[in-house]
Amino acid sequence: MSKFVYLVPLFPLIGFLINGLFRKKLSKSLTGVIGCGAILASFVVSLLIFLEARAPGFEPVIISLFDFIHTGTIDIAFAFQVDQLSVLFLLIITGVGFLIHVYSTSYMHEETGEHFARYFSYLNLFVFSMLLLVLGANYVILFIGWEGVGLCSYLLIGYWFKNIDYGYAARKAFVMNRIGDLGFLIALFWMLSQFGSVNFGEVFAKAPGTSVGVLTGITLLLFVGATGKSAQIPLYTWLPDAMAGPTPVSALIHAATMVTAGIYMIARSNILYTLAPVTQSVVAITGLATAILAATIALKQNDIKKVLAYSTVSQLGYMFLGLGVGAYTGAVFHVMTHAFFKALLFLGAGSVIHALHNEQDIRKMGGLKKYLPITHITFLLACLAIAGIPPFSGFFSKDEILAAAYAKNPLYYVIGVAGAMMTAFYMFRLYASAFLGNFRGAKEQEHHLHESPAAITIPLIILAIGAVAGGFLGIPEVMARDSHWLERFLAPVFSDSTKLATAHTTPASTEWMLMGVSVFLALVASVYAWTRFSKKPDLAEPHGLGKVLQNKWYVDELYDGLIVKPLNAFAKFLNNVVEKSIIDWMVNGVGKAVQYGSRQVRLLQSGQVGAYVLMMVVGMVILFLVQLLRK
Amino acid sequence: MGRLGGAAFMPINYYIFLAIALFCIGVAGVLTRRNAIIIFMCVELMLNAVNLLLVAFSKMHHLALKATNPNAGIDGQLFVFFIMVVAAAEVSVGLAIIAMLYRNTHSVDVNFLNRLKH
């Protein structure tokens, strides 16, 4: 079955082409069927490939489609690699992607037929690019998908193109992604010159023999690319602005898939990172810092989607922390559970926004529990999952990362737990403000409040099942021997790294204590936030530190002053001085010179015959002299 | 008639100087005179100066190469015939043009005939 893996990205590509090219002619229901059907077909094929990959002893399969670049010594094939890691991501992308496509058919139903089809074509193109990313057998194909998802992110954030602010948000996302991509490209070229190849197999085989300095450089540059794509410090400010796009887009791209591309890339390159401990520390510290920074900002946000956006940035920080301390399985596990509960949170938020007719301010919500029961229950389950409360999925994945962090450096654990506490707090603040207490909106709105249709609630329910039960795929050793199915499944992918890494074994009692402490603190924070915000909503204008947090630590303003304004000034200089004065002057000057010259030459044509004869005589004399002097 | 000997010949320089003098007088006339017919006469003068030079050199070459080939070096004199024919044709055409110009503008002053400017 794995030789049919090319079908997996092919279906969304066809869906993109059909919906894109015939968007003016297709009916909305047909568009929805094509869009969702393509992803469903990919999911089915992925499932079949997964069943094949589940067998122990499954060797990675490389299917080469054609020669992509073939010059001199460089031979890069358009090839797909089917192994445990790519199969897992295939399932996540197509599975969650399918649910979000179904959700979108209802959420976007107000759009006209042409724009509805445009939405689905972009969404299919995105899934195609993301599948290329995870299926690529070398860094170049990965990069093609990497760029493709960046492009689709731009197209979808700016989907409602008539609003110029959304356009700026889309542009910001694309430009910041591009800055990261520069790092990725330089790493790619370095790899090519160092190893002579960018195939995963060849690079990873040659890596142990390379100098640590070179590996540190390559991995750091790859990580720069990951900071752009996965919204880490310093390239994270585009993600909250990206909430300008439709909510299903935020769920798919900025929660479940695109932003996890960085983690996939580093997990795939795990041997390179294990051999470069300096970069690992950089990754861990950056991830941790981002996790904390984003969590603090989320504490004071009032837009339901912005809270979730900063929550995403924060959770991605945790995943990078996991990668940085060598817990590759833990990070991928968190990607999986995060895909479930974050997509669920975003889709639930979309359901709320739809019910309130595009109201996103939580200060104007409240008491939605009785009007939106299914949304309420699923949202609550997602909040419990993200807060890390057992037995929900978030607990297992987050705790695996925190345990590994403790083994590396107890300080990582302490700061990580502080972040987890903040996570629990702001999530339950969000939950309580939206669903508990009394409705704070307008009376007319209250009359129209009703639960969303099935196309919205069924994906919510399915994702909720994942958010609740997903954790049981990775039960840690201390709880039950040999029950960590995910670790066993992904072991072949990370085997080289686990062999090299120094085995930190923390005693079982310490692990239980770590778990207990984090769960206890999360529970305390959740209960506190629940009770406080269900009674009295957070309506007051913040002062001091609260104001700083609400204004996102003024990072956007800092970037604006430090980078954007000087660049704009430089561009203006280039336009006014270099372009207009110098280059235009030169080009116009050539024209003016020719005109002047011709004006002067024209004076020779006086019409006086004598003058012409004189010119003839002078010419003759000159020729004569030239001949004379030549001899 | 006094003959200076079988193959006696004036030094070629005399011919050259004469031809140059004639030619320069012709050029000066063409550049300076206002009357179109006088200019024509000066052009004829230039052509005849060239003819003279051609004949002189032809004779010089003939005398030098007479031993090997009795017909050597007469090409110059043949060319003179061509030049005379061309000069005659040119004069006929040119005078016809000037006659027409005179009929239209009642002047043969060259400074006046600058209609080519337009």
Q: For A23-172, where are the E strands, in sequence order?
A: 61-71, 74-82
Preferred mutation among B31, B32, B43, B97 to probe A, highest tally of A CBs within 10 A: B31
Nearest to A140 by CA among A76, A46, A215: A76
Residue A140 to residues A59, A79, A585, B23, Cα–Cα distance (Å): 22, 10, 43, 83
Taking residues A483-506, report their average pLDDT.
81
Q: Which residues of B touch A617 (CB under 8 A)?
A: 27, 30-31
Q: Cβ contact (<8 Å) for A610 and B31? A: yes
Report pLDDT digits (tens) over A45-67. Answer: 999 999 988 888 888 888 988 98
Selecting from B30, B31, B117 the residue whose C-beta is nearest the C-beta of A607 gives: B117
Peptide bond into A537 cis (omega under 30): no
Q: Which residues of B touch A614 (CB under 8 A)?
A: 31
Report pLDDT digits (tens) over A440-462. Answer: 877 777 877 888 888 888 999 99
Q: Which residues of A touch B116 (CB under 8 A)?
A: 605, 607, 609
Domain ranges of chain B: 12-106
Preferred mutation among B25, B27, B39 to probe A, highest tally of A CBs within 10 A: B27
**Amino acid identity, residue A385?**
A
Nearest to B58 by CA among B78, B80, B73, B70: B73
Q: Which residues of A touch B118 (CB under 8 A)?
A: 607
Q: Which of the pair, A165 or A503, is modelled with greater confidence?
A: A165
User: CB of A606 within 8 Å of any CB in chain B?
Assistant: yes
Neighbours of A298 (CB within 10 A): 27
Q: What is the pLDDT of residue A506?
A: 75
**Nearest chain A CA: its distance from B42 CA (Å):** 12
Q: Is A437 left (phi over 0), alpha (psi -120 to 50) or beta?
A: left
* Ordered alpha helix ranges (H), A23-83: 28-53
User: CB of B98 within 8 Å of any CB in chain A?
Assistant: no
Query: Cβ contacts of residue A367 below 8 Å, gap of 6+?
Result: A435, A436, A437, A438, A439, A440
Neighbours of A500 (CB within 10 A): 13
CATH of domain B12-106: 1.10.287.3510
Query: Residue B71 in 3-state DSSP?
Result: coil
Contact of A181 with A158, CB cutoff 8 Å: no
Contact of A101 with A120, CB cutoff 8 Å: yes
**Nearest chain A CA: its distance from B112 CA (Å):** 8
Selecting from A607, A614, A617 the residue whose C-beta is nearest the C-beta of B116 gives: A607
3-state helix, strand, coil in chain B (%, to 5): 75, 0, 25
**Nearest chain B CA: its distance from A602 CA (Å):** 10
Is residue B7 pLDDT above 60, yes or no? no
Q: Cβ contact (<8 Å) for A617 and B113? A: no
Q: What is the pLDDT of residue B1?
A: 38
Name the β-bridge partners of A67.
A77
Neighbours of B68 (CB within 10 A): 7
Q: CA angle at residue A269 from A267 to A272, to 5 degrees?
A: 125
Tell me the pLDDT band of B2, cut-offs 50, 70 and 90: very low
Q: Cβ contact (<8 Å) for B116 and A614? A: no
Nearest CA in chain B to A620: B27
Domain ranges of chain A: 1-190+228-263, 329-544, 560-630
Contact of A207 with A272, CB cutoff 8 Å: yes
| Separation CA B23–CA B51 (nearest Å) | 11
Q: Is B29 left (phi over 0), alpha (psi -120 to 50) or beta?
A: alpha
Report pLDDT digits (tens) over A581-607. Answer: 888 889 999 999 999 999 999 888 877
User: CB of A588 within 8 Å of any CB in chain B?
Assistant: no
Place of tokens 């339950």: A428
Return the H-helix or E-strand segment holding A322: helix A304-324
| Separation CA A160–CA A309 (nearest Å) | 19
Burial of A331 (0-12, 13-18, 19+ CB in 10 A): buried
Query: Cβ contacts of residue A171 below 8 Å, gap of 6+?
Result: A154, A158
Tokens, residue A413: 């654990």
Task: Please determine, for the modelled complex, whether the ipTM score is greater than 0.85.
Answer: no
- Chain mean pLDDT for chain A: 90
Is residue A222 pLDDT above 70, yes or no? yes
Contact of A320 with A228, CB cutoff 8 Å: no
Q: CA angle at residue A316 from A314 to A322, to 5 degrees?
A: 110
Tokens, residue A578: 């270099």
Contact of B22 with B59, CB cutoff 8 Å: no
User: CB of A618 within 8 Å of any CB in chain B?
Assistant: no
Please state, for a pLDDT cut of 70, what percent of chain A lies above it: 100
Tokens, residue A500: 């090299």
Q: What is the pLDDT of residue A622?
A: 95
Q: Which residues of A442-457 are buried (b: 16+ CB within 10 A; e: fewer)?
A: eeeeeeebeebeebbb
Taking residues B69-79, report their average pLDDT.
86
Q: Which of the pair, A37 or A503, is modelled with greater confidence?
A: A37
Q: Which of the pair, A37 or A610, is modelled with greater confidence?
A: A37
DSSP A79: E
Report pLDDT digits (tens) over A125-146. Answer: 999 999 999 999 999 999 999 9
Polymer length of chain A: 631
Preferred mutation among A608, A617, A621 to probe B, highest tally of B CBs within 10 A: A608
For β-strands A74-82 and A61-71, DSSP reports them as antiparallel
Q: What is the pLDDT of residue A504?
A: 67
User: CB of A602 within 8 Å of any CB in chain B?
Assistant: no
Query: Residue A62 in 3-state DSSP?
Result: strand
Q: What is the pLDDT of residue B8?
A: 64
| Separation CA B28–CA A500 (nearest Å) | 104
pTM of this structure: 0.81
Polymer length of chain B: 118
Tell me the pLDDT band of A257, cut-offs 50, 70 and 90: confident
User: CB of A605 within 8 Å of any CB in chain B?
Assistant: yes
